[in-house]
Amino acid sequence: MDYQAVLEEVAAQVRPQIGCGQVAQYIPALASVAPEQFGMAVVDVEGGVHGVGDWEVPFSVQSISKTFTLALVLARDGEKIWQRVGREPSGNPFNSLVQLEYEHGIPRNPFINAGALVITDRLQSLTGDASSTLLEFLRTESGNPDLGFNPAVAASETDNGDRNAALAHFMAAYDNLENLVPSVLEHYFWQCSVEMSCRDLALAGRFLARHGLRADGSRLLARSEAKQVNAVMLTCGTYDAAGDFAYRVGLPGKSGVGGGIIAVIPGRCTLCVWSPGLDERGNSVAGVAALDRFTTLTGLSVF
């Protein structure tokens, strides 16, 4: 497969969509990002790295971080985490509060904000420093020691974090947090503020295409656990658009409101696409279109 040629064709085909949608407004530090940007990277299981456009420009990973924290918790804790968080699509926006009360403080899945807070809470208990554990992992897997948090983005999220604070307090009331709410929120906001490029993210997510094997060949996840993370990405990774994403793209994918999306073709490659304009569900307009084009042009998907 000539991934480079495919990427260039995809970039040409989605050009009209670049700049469409809205850059995330509810985090003021993200609202100033220039919308007319687009990058896409593919890293194959043999280590080949390919990219097009702004694929080496760092952006805010936001909810893409939830994929990695889930993997880090599964690696340490196994199945136990599923007593505290479900694995069903929510059909609701990523920051919705309503289901939590009906479902007694157990979030639907680890990729909506409530579920991600539970995962960060558990990672904090297991490691003593959830956000640093995540950053260290991302640096190692991407081979980029310069990756870091963006303190301005973390502060902006904290200043505008009432919904996430409400979710966390609500779960604490149901005894579904082990650490104090302010500490869980702090680590969650730091994890969302990490800045990475498409290249970095595709490299860091390569273990999902390699059935759980890390960059150095050691095992992070059992083969079945890597399958589980990919399955939850497919069904829940793009929130209340997960059905449409599966229909159009046909791959496990995880989006973030920074405009990035990672996607996985197990056994073959990990992709990352970035373009800041979001649709009303918080997924990158040009990003979803590019993944749609990629799987259509190549015929590669999990179906």
Phi/psi region, residue 51 (left: phi>0; alpha: psi -120 to 50; beta: rest), is: beta
Question: Nearest to ligand GLN by Cβ — which residue?
Answer: 63
What are the backbone angles phi and psi of residue 75, rounded to the nearest 5°? -65, -35
Of 282, 288, 293, 294, the one binding ligand GLN by CB under 6 A = 282
Positions annotated as catalytic residues are 63, 66, 188, 239, 257
Contact indicator for 132, 185 with CB cutoff of 8 Å: no
Smallest distance, Å, CB 55 to ligand GLN? 20
Smallest distance, Å, CB 241 to ligand GLN? 11
Please name which of 262, 290, 209, 269 lies closest in space to residue 62, comparing C-alpha atoms: 262
Instruction: Write the single-letter amino acid at 120.
Output: T
Q: What angle do CA 160, 175, 95 make, to 5 degrees?
A: 30
**Residue with smaller CB distance to ligand GLN, 95 or 140:** 95
Smallest distance, Å, CB 303 to ligand GLN? 25
Using CB under 6 A as the binding rule, whether residue 63 contacts ligand GLN is answered as yes
**Residue with smaller CB distance to ligand GLN, 51 or 256:** 256
Using CB under 6 A as the binding rule, whether residue 233 contacts ligand GLN is answered as no
Using CB under 6 A as the binding rule, whether residue 21 contacts ligand GLN is answered as no
Using CB under 6 A as the binding rule, whether residue 238 contacts ligand GLN is answered as no
Binding to ligand GLN (CB under 6 A): which residues in 121-180? Answer: 157, 164
Smallest distance, Å, CB 260 to ligand GLN? 9
Count CB atoms within 10 A of the CB of residue 258: 30
**Residue with smaller CB distance to ligand GLN, 157 or 225:** 157
**Residue with smaller CB distance to ligand GLN, 105 or 259:** 259
**Residue with smaller CB distance to ligand GLN, 96 or 213:** 96
Smallest distance, Å, CB 216 to ligand GLN? 29
Using CB under 6 A as the binding rule, whether residue 257 contacts ligand GLN is answered as yes
Residues in the site for ligand GLN, rule: CB under 6 A? 62-63, 94-95, 113, 157, 164, 192, 256-257, 282
